[in-house]
Amino acid sequence: DEVRIPASEPIQELNIGEDTTGEELVYETESDQGSLLQSIQQNSTSTDTPIDENWRDIWTHQPVCTSYLSEFNSLLCVYTNATFSQGRGISIFTTPKIAAEFAALLPFHDDEILQKRGINSAEGSGLWTAKALPGKGIGMVAKRDLQRGELITAYTPYLISHAENVLSVQEREKFLQIALSQLPAASQEHFLDLAKYYYELSVVVQDVVKANTFQMDMGGRMHLLVVPEASRYNHACAPNAQYYIEPGILTHFVHAVRPIAKDEEITITYSTPYHPYSVRQNYLLEAFRFTCTCSRCAKGEDTDQSLVEIHDLQQSLGNWGADSTASVKQAERLVKVYLEEEFDGFLDFAYGHAALTYNSVGSARGTVKYAALAAEAAALKYGPASKDVRTWMDLAERPMEHSSWRRRKNVVVVSDGDGDSD
Ligand SMILES: C[S@@+](CC[C@H](N)C(=O)[O-])C[C@H]1O[C@@H](n2cnc3c(N)ncnc32)[C@H](O)[C@@H]1O
């Protein structure tokens, strides 16, 4: 029952914005603690590939491995299941220990789980089409009107790669090329057709990864994902869609966060929307090599003032000390600014602050209304099974049990023991 909610948005970036093809990157290099790998350390005379002899149970190709990498006490191997999801295929470059975690996931054991949930459906699916847009390469466009909350795309990656920085560019490319080459031909073509930065054939797989990466944690390690359908979403600083990844089913989901008209471009954000205009422009240019001309950027620095207001309101509403001047009026204002700025994809913050503020003055009705809205918004942003959704639902269901209840009620409460006295 924490009263505080994060003061600033966790950064949800499409690409890590660092040079995944370079050597200067510092990814985590602590050791993997798997028993298998520990046994290698103990018998360190042998760096033989510790491949599970039952690899055929899950993978269609014999794993191909690097030599032992002392930097993180493991080796890395390519694991491919070319028949994954009705022949879409998936290749994973990771440690044997983490590969075992991937192999335990449901989609590798239940052929129909993805299909039943409409995941990896035929391109277009009546909702969207990917087409060339002026100055933006290919983008995603709505084929019909979409409502807030509608699921637009749900796809699994073709390639998942451990975000290591211990291999040389050439060495990494060699393994990623193997990973790609073991996929079905149609998937290889689809992958190689994606946006690139360098157009250098000798590093083409890393080039595609760099321009199209989503991130996911697996086994405590960051992994880079290429989900070709989702790769076609262009960026906007106040996007009309949000994405999240559900690791348990290896699926990248995108939902509309406000009504999207037929023929309108569908956008996601590659960075935090809370940075001022010039910071966003520089970041997008450096990390993604484009000058953002989205509707928010078209207004230039004029929109920075609203970010200051959002910041100040969130600071005030997040102050739970005795000197707090937080009020319901401020919370209502925060919600209004979010809506005016078209921050529809981030409303869990505004609604969450509002829910807690209403609760803090003992207004259960206001709490229930806004906590339910925060839960809905968090579901679009982090997935229905996320911790955030649970937190807001708990608050909506039991406002008086939350530690924020009447926390700012400016009266001396003579408790009658039932916790809700007035
Ligand atoms: C993940 S891809 C998005 C799809 C890409 N447009 C394509 O043709 O495949 C990322 C690249 O798309 C382009 N892009 C994305 N958002 C953009 C925007 N708002 N304006 C211009 N270019 C954009 C940039 O070249 C960026 O590096």
The predicted pLDDT at position 123 comes to: 62
Task: Tell me which residue has its CA closest to atom 9 in ligand 1.
Answer: 195
Distance 220 CA to ligand 1 centre (A): 29
Q: What's the mean pLDDT in 180-205?
A: 97
Torsion of CA 316, 322, 323, 329, to 10 degrees: 40
Q: What's the mean pLDDT when you consider all of the chain?
A: 87
DSSP structure string for 191-212: HHTS--SS--GGGHHHHHHHHH
Q: CA-CA distances (angstroms) from residue 236 to 9, 14, 83, 213?
A: 16, 12, 35, 17
Q: Report CA-CA distances (Å) from 366 to 29, 181, 220, 252, 411.
A: 47, 56, 39, 33, 19
Q: How far is the CA of 237 from the centre of ligand 1 (A)?
A: 13
CA distance 329 to 331: 5
Please indicate whether residue 290, judged by its CB atom, sits closer than 6 Å to ligand 1. Answer: yes
C-alpha distances in Å from residue 265, one per residue of 145, 274, 294, 299:
11, 22, 11, 19
pLDDT level of residue 234 (50, 70, 90 thresholds): very high
Of 2-6, 24-28, 49-53, 335-339, give the range with the top mean pLDDT. 335-339
The H or E element containing residue 42 is helix 35-42
pLDDT in tens, 326-350: 999 999 999 999 999 999 999 999 9
Beta carbons within 8 Å of 77's beta carbon, 6+ residues apart = 49, 51, 63, 64, 65, 66, 93, 94, 95, 96, 99
Say how many Å lie between the CA of residue 289 and the centre of ligand 1: 8
Q: Is 303 in the pocket of ligand 1 (CB under 6 A)?
A: no
CA of 327 to the centre of ligand 1 (A): 41
Q: Whose CA is nearest to atom 19 of ligand 1?
A: 235
Ligand 1 centre and the CA of 14: distance in Å?
11
Give the ranges where 274-363 is alpha helix by DSSP (H).
277-288, 295-298, 304-317, 328-340, 347-360
Query: What average pLDDT does range 171-177 have in this prediction?
Result: 98
- For residues 155 and 119, the answer to whether their CB atoms sit within 8 Å is yes
* C-alpha 294 – ligand 1 centre gap (Å): 12
CA–CA gap between residue 309 and residue 312 (Å, rounded):
5
Q: Which segment of 48-52, 72-76, 83-87 scores lowest on mean pLDDT?
A: 48-52
Which carries the bigger pLDDT value, residue 188 or residue 11?
188
Q: Give the span between the Cα atoms of 164 and 166, in whole angstroms.
A: 6
| Between 184 and 49, the higher pLDDT residue | 184
Q: Which of 346, 310, 362 is nearest to 331 (CA)?
A: 310
Which residue has the least CA distance to atom 12 on ligand 1?
A: 234
Predicted pLDDT at 47: 41
Answer whether residue 411 shows pLDDT above 60. Answer: no
Q: For 239-254, what is each residue's pLDDT tens digit?
A: 999 999 999 999 999 9
CA distance 359 to 337: 21
Q: Is the pLDDT of residue 27 over 70?
A: no
Task: Evaluate: CB of 25 within 6 angstroms of ligand 1.
Answer: no
Expressed in angstroms and rounded, the spacing between residue 280 Cα and the centre of ligand 1 is 15
Average pLDDT over residues 111-134: 90
pLDDT at 415: 42
Which pLDDT score is estimated for 53?
83
Mean per-residue pLDDT, 78-98: 97
Residue 136 Cα, ligand 1 centroid: separation in angstroms? 5
Mean pLDDT of 347-374: 97
Q: How far is the CA of 139 from the centre of ligand 1 (A)?
A: 7
For 251, phi then psi, to 5°, come to: -120, 135
Single-letter residue type at 283: Y
Assign 111 a pLDDT band (cuts: 50, 70, 90). Answer: confident
Q: How confident is the model at residue 22 (pLDDT cuts 50, 70, 90)?
A: very low
Is the C-beta atom of 235 inside 6 A of ligand 1? yes
Residue 35 has pLDDT above 50, yes or no: no
CA 133 to CA 393: how far, in whole Å? Answer: 40
Ligand 1 pocket test, pick from 13, 209, 235, 291 with the greatest ligand atom count within 8 Å of Cβ, gives: 235
Ligand 1 contact via 136 beta carbon (within 6 Å): yes
Query: How confident is the model over 216-233, as pLDDT tens digits?
Result: 999 999 999 999 999 999
pLDDT at 204 over 60: yes
Q: Is the pLDDT of residue 136 over 60?
A: yes
Do 96 and 52 meet the contact criterion of CB atoms below 8 Å apart?
Answer: yes
Which pLDDT value is given to residue 2? Answer: 41
pLDDT of residue 50: 67
- Choose which residue among 192, 229, 234 to substitute to test ligand 1 binding: the one with the highest number of ligand atoms within 8 A of its C-beta: 234
Amino acid residing at 278:
S
More confident residue, 327 or 25: 327
The band of 52, judged by pLDDT with boundaries at 50, 70 and 90, is confident
CA of 209 to the centre of ligand 1 (A): 14
Q: How confident is the model at residue 15, as a pLDDT? A: 36
| 160 ligand 1 Cβ < 6 A | no
Ligand 1 contact, 280 CB (< 6 A): no
